[in-house]
Amino acid sequence: CSEVKLFKPSTNIEELEKSQAVLLDYLPNAGCLRQMQSIRDRDLLVQDIVMLQVIHRVQGPFHRFCEGLTTLGVLQKIRSHPDSFRPLFCYQPCVMTADQMENLFSICLSPEGSDKRAAEETVVTFWRDYLLDAKEEGPSKLQKILAFATGASIVPAIGFLKSAK
């Protein structure tokens, strides 16, 4: 966070006090106001700021989230069966397969009987053959194809908004 960046480069008490003066409104409200007597106090102050930013600021929303889950007994079920709920709350990237890669794209062909349709069907066949060849080379090849087509080397946790065409 930007508050920590102000203190980190301080190498003596004078610089530390100047950095602290910039945040005179923030530090008391955050409960992080300390008397700076040595450069070691900088590390304690940084630790206080990080604790506030990372732990204390999210405690309230986290408790409200838990209360919401408790309302219908969901929290109790989550605690009883954590492994069943883990995929809902914890993203775990999986190894890309050729089938997954193929399912990411929707194929829109021209009307049957048109000259374009025959050429498109040939391209689709080549695409599927290419994916099978890539499958044999391993997941890294499929990741490279995905990165080329979408800009992402893995499928995001929320997936892609709509199929690439």
Instruction: Establish if 140 belongs to a structural domain.
Output: yes
Beta-carbon contacts of residue 35 (< 8 Å; ≥ 6 apart): 41
Whether the Cβ atoms of residue 34 and residue 48 lie closer than 8 Å to each other: yes
Whether the Cβ atoms of residue 36 and residue 20 lie closer than 8 Å to each other: yes
pLDDT by 10s per residue, the chain, length 165:
676 677 667 777 888 777 777 777 777 777 777 777 887 887 888 888 888 888 888 899 999 999 999 999 999 999 999 999 998 888 787 778 888 888 888 888 999 988 899 999 999 999 999 999 998 888 889 999 989 988 888 888 777 776 555
pLDDT of 102-116, one tens digit each? Answer: 888 888 899 998 889
Pair 73, 105 in one domain: no
Instruction: Establish if 155 belongs to a structural domain.
Output: no
DSSP strands (E only) in the chain: none
Instruction: Establish if 121 belongs to a structural domain.
Output: yes
- Residue 14's domain comprises 2-89
Instruction: Establish if 158 belongs to a structural domain.
Output: no
Number of domains in the chain: 2
Pair 22, 52 in one domain: yes
Backbone angles phi, psi at 81, to 5 degrees: -135, 65
